[in-house]
Structure 1
Amino acid sequence: MKTKSPFLKQQHIKRYLYIIALIVGGYLEGQTINIAGTSWTASVPTITEAGTNYTGTYDNPGLLTLSGNLPGSFLTLLTSAGARISMQHVPTSWNSALKLYAKRSGGTTKINGLCIGCTATISGGNVNYVEIPQTGSATLSTITFTGVLGLGQNVDYSAINVQLEIGGVSVTIPAAAYSTQIVFTIGAN
């Protein structure tokens, strides 16, 4: 009577796990978010005394533009809950009294593939500035998908313009060059 070695059993188990991972990986595609725009250097005047020649809040004259794709495999997870575009900032040199904000304008969606009675809408973040936190994340906007899923469907979103604002500038903050990186992510709401 022959017995299989434990090594051979492990190889079979690994082979099945690899096959399962390949099947699942082929079905699930990653949602994407692309960012177009440039770095922003806020020009703050020299503040010599409180209340003289400064507003305390500065807007970025340029816009960041977000675009990307939500694949069908991700849409099946959403139902009508929506995808959440969230943001946070990761400081490299920062004063905690300074605050960053973002506001959305525009945005379009396009449903690709066969989909019956489908809609995709972008909402939120377009009325007031939303603070971009250092810890955790804040929602900039959501993309909601509804309809009967069909074949080969996915949603492209584009032209989501993001206006940035910095606030909290004060004579009490030491003069220095402060910098941070804003991170946008997209996932299930």
Structure 2
Amino acid sequence: MMLLIISCGLKAQLVTVSGDWAASIPAITEAGSNYAGTYSNASIPTTTITLSTTLSGNFLNVLAGKGAKMTMRYTSNAWNSSLGLSAKRTGTTTGTISGLCVLCTATISGGDSFIPIQSASDTTFFNLNFAGVLGVSNTANFSDINLILQLSGVSVTIPAAPYSARIIFTVVAN
């Protein structure tokens, strides 16, 4: 019986990302001018990026208040090391719970200020927490987590070229 309970807590998690963003950087038309330096998708409503994921629970890990963390890193197609990427979470701070669960909560903490995204290693973005008194076959659903991306370091000293990066989000159990 103990092996069955432990194996239930080891289910793989899936992160769903919807949306993308291409920074719109205006052309320099006057000598001596520079770019604004920092650009974001925050003011463009058509570029909403959302994350969704679920945490599965059972009696032991819900009682212990188990959770996970969302990490991020980027891989570049063509990139300049003077450019920086950052991400910030907005919107929802709670998740919805399905299944039988007594006094259970599903919350998100952290990630509410810009966090630099690294290319070589995962950076913790925010934490997902799922806790309660008693639960059987539970799922905490975290959806519509809005994401704001920020591009920094844009300057006339960086060669004009198309640059692109893909951000990879991973859910890691605590």
Normalising by structure 2, what TM-score?
0.83
Deviation at 1:53, TM superposition (A): 5.2
- Matches of residues 143-182 of structure 1 in structure 2 within 5 Å? 143-182=128-167
- The aligned residue for residue 122 of structure 1 is 108
Give 3-state SS (helix, strand or coil) of 2:80's partner: coil
Structure 2: segments with no counterpart, 5+ residues: none
Q: Which one is further off, 75-84 or 143-152?
A: 75-84
Assess, with a 3 A threshold, how the Cα gap between structure 1 residues 133 and 49 changes in structure 2: closer, same or farther.
farther
- The aligned residue for residue 12 of structure 2 is 30
**Aligned-residue identity in percent:** 48
Distance 1:132 1:105 in 2: 17
Q: Deviations over 1:36-57 (max 9, x none)?
A: 113x221222346787252100
Q: Deviations over 1:15-37 (max 9, x none)?
A: xxxxxxxx987774221211111
- The aligned residue for residue 75 of structure 2 is 90
Do the aligned residues in 2 keep the contact of 1:113 with 1:154 (CA within 8 Å)? yes
Distance 2:66 2:135 in 1: 18
Assess, with a 3 A threshold, how the Cα gap between structure 1 residues 51 and 129 changes in structure 2: closer, same or farther.
farther
Instruction: Give the letter aligned to residue 37 of structure 1.
Output: G
Assess, with a 3 A threshold, how the Cα gap between structure 1 residues 152 and 82 changes in structure 2: closer, same or farther.
closer
Structure 1 or 2, whichever has the larger Rg, is 1
Deviation at 1:79, TM superposition (A): 3.3
RMSD between aligned alpha carbons?
Answer: 2.8
Deviation at 1:161, TM superposition (A): 0.2
User: Paired residues, what number?
Assistant: 167
Give 3-state SS (helix, strand or coil) of 1:175's partner: coil
1:184 aligns with 2:169: yes
1:43 aligns with 2:21: no
Q: Deviations over 1:101-157 (max 9, x none)?
A: 11100124011111122111111111x211111111212211112212421111111
- Matches of residues 30-109 of structure 1 in structure 2 within 5 Å? 30-38=12-20, 40-47=21-28, 52=33, 54-60=35-41, 61=44, 62-72=47-57, 76=61, 79-80=64-65, 82-107=67-92, 108-109=94-95
Structure with the higher helix share, 1 or 2: 1
- The aligned residue for residue 112 of structure 1 is 98
Give 3-state SS (helix, strand or coil) of 1:76's partner: helix
Structure 1: segments with no counterpart, 5+ residues: 1-22
Distance 1:148 1:27 in 2: 16
Do the aligned residues in 2 keep the contact of 1:78 with 1:145 (CA within 8 Å)? no
Do the aligned residues in 2 keep the contact of 1:79 with 1:145 (CA within 8 Å)? no
Where do 4+ consecutive residues of structure 1 move more than 4 Å?
23-27, 48-51
